[in-house]
Amino acid sequence: MISSLIGSDTICAVATAPGMGGIAIIRVSGSEAIGIVDQIFSCREVRTLERAKDRMAYFGRFSHEGKTIDEGLVTCFRAPRSYTGEDVVEISCHGSVFIQQALLEALTDQGCRMAAPGEFTRRAYLHGKMDLSRAEAVADLIASESEGQHRMALTQMRGGYSAEFAQLRERLLQLTSLMELELDFSEEDVTFADRTQLLELLDELTEKIERLTESFRLGNAIKRGIPVAIAGATNVGKSTLLNALLGEERAIVSDIHGTTRDTIEDVLNIDGVLFRFIDTAGLRLTDDTIEALGIDRSYDKIDKASLVLLLVDVLRIADADYRSALLQLLPRLENKPFLVLLNKVDAIDPQTTQAVLTDLSSLLTEYLPSGEAPSILPISAQRGDGLDELRAALIKALALPELKSTDLVVSNARHHELLTKALHSLRTVRTGLTDGLPTDLLTPDLRGAITAIGEVTGADITSDSVLHNIFAHFCIGK
């Protein structure tokens, strides 16, 4: 089965980032890797790469059809002591795009084929060099843009994640064995574990899976960036705030109402956590069809955001129509973390600012569903006042737990889906045990949970299409 999934051909690809650089690395993997590279490489130290020592770099010349392509290094990694578990050769050459393409053409002429995305890591998985969850962590590590993403991927790649799932699967198999043994000896009235013991074991496993499932909120936020909607009426400074936070002119700023007619998104790393800020269209009544569509999208982004920054214009708070529009937005913030930002405080004196803060707090408290006084932060998006306090408030408002190097956090949507499936199966089994259902009606759900947990690490995956979908998202050369 494994050999049919791997194939017998030898693959090659550029393993470094696309484009020109100081050096480039071309990776070749397969049973013919050393022989194929030997056809285009000549070295004074060894007459043939078959005699080359493992993991030792050899300097030489690359040529094809009588023409010299480049000079560089070749390093051989023989099976099974290689990344893929096959014979692997790594070519270090100059980073010219022309040289990279010429070497790839020479290798394919000698019998290689170009690797598909993630094919090297897929072969590593199929040869047992790593399980599926660790293979997926490789892609996450490459894509990491923040300290949190890096730490989470590294923990998963080092195997602690895999060990937890392997233990869960083993305990589930133990539970299933006890129940199936009772089924085999049911006519002899033999009891291998009473229902109380089974329930205790089931509750322990359910609690562990629940904890992992719930960690997906944190893991997904760290991996994809926490969506933060910047909301408010027109011309209150939303685009100015986005530009100030990002430190660049990302959104158009104008005194004309309704300038932003669609949502604008960008990410910012704050204390190792990625925040995905969304500048929404100004909220107001309008007869403009295009602007109205933008406002509808704004409400959709506000509903889906993990946190909302409600921007209030200190110069317009006394206006009755403005206050009415502000209050219409409050019901959408029910059961959602949000911060109120009193903007443009640079335009008034501190005493007036304090009076406006008191008035705004009373107004919002009266109309908020919770009836609690909201957190209001005075800022000047134009001048940058209060932005450091805002960054600290963003971390505090989300109450994200500190991620330690040993913490197991689920960040992969596939893993979360499988855990949710396993959790549903275990809850069904527990209900059946409590209601006194026969063992033979419960074991199929238990085996469903075992299969779901096994699919996280690849222990129960046999479908090539599943593997294709997983590795198709990898970069070429990894």
Query: Does the annotation flag 13 for ligand binding?
Result: no
Does the CA dihedral 186-189-193-199 come out positive or negative? Answer: positive
- In-domain check, residue 473: no
- Quick one: pLDDT at residue 3? 45
Residues 204, 96: one domain?
no
Per-residue pLDDT reduced to its tens digit, 63-100:
999 999 999 999 999 999 999 999 999 999 999 999 99
Task: Note if the pTM is more than 0.75.
Answer: no
Is position 240 annotated in a ligand binding site?
Answer: yes
- The amino acid present at 115, given as its one-letter code, is A
| 257 annotated ligand-binding residue | yes
Confidence at residue 261, expressed as pLDDT on a 0 to 100 scale: 39
CATH code, 263: 3.40.50.300
Residues 88 and 205 in one domain: no
Indicate the residue among 106, 129, 152 that finishes a domain: 129
User: Are the C-beta atoms of residues 85 and 50 closer than 8 Å to each other?
Assistant: no
379 is in an annotated binding site: no
What was the pLDDT predicted at 62?
96
User: Does the annotation list 235 as a binding residue?
Assistant: yes
The answer to whether the annotation marks 6 as part of a ligand binding site is: no
Residue 304 labeled ligand binder: no
Distance CA 103, CA 256 (A): 57
> pLDDT value at position 275?
87
Average pLDDT for 400-425: 80
HSE, side-chain direction, 13 A CA sphere, residue 169: 19
Q: Is 255 annotated as a binding residue?
A: yes
Of residues 372 and 63, the one with the higher pLDDT is 63
Q: What percentage of the chain has pLDDT greater than the value 70? A: 85
Residue 254 assigned ligand-binding role: yes
- pLDDT tops 70 at residue 165: yes
Residues facing residue 340 across a β-bridge:
310, 376
CA dist 441 and 183 (Å) reads 10
Q: Looking at the structure, do residues 333 and 185 belong to the same domain, yes or no?
A: no
Ligand-binding site membership of 404 (annotated): no
User: Is 256 within any annotated ligand binding site?
Assistant: yes
pLDDT band per the 50, 70, 90 thresholds, residue 250: low
Domain encompassing residue 302: 224-396
The reply to whether 439 sits in an annotated binding site is no
Q: Is 258 annotated as a binding residue?
A: yes
Same structural domain, 430 and 337: no
189 is in an annotated binding site: no
Average pLDDT along the chain:
82
Residue 290 annotated as binding site = no
Q: How far is CA 436 from CA 198, 338, 378, 432, 440, in A?
A: 12, 47, 61, 6, 12
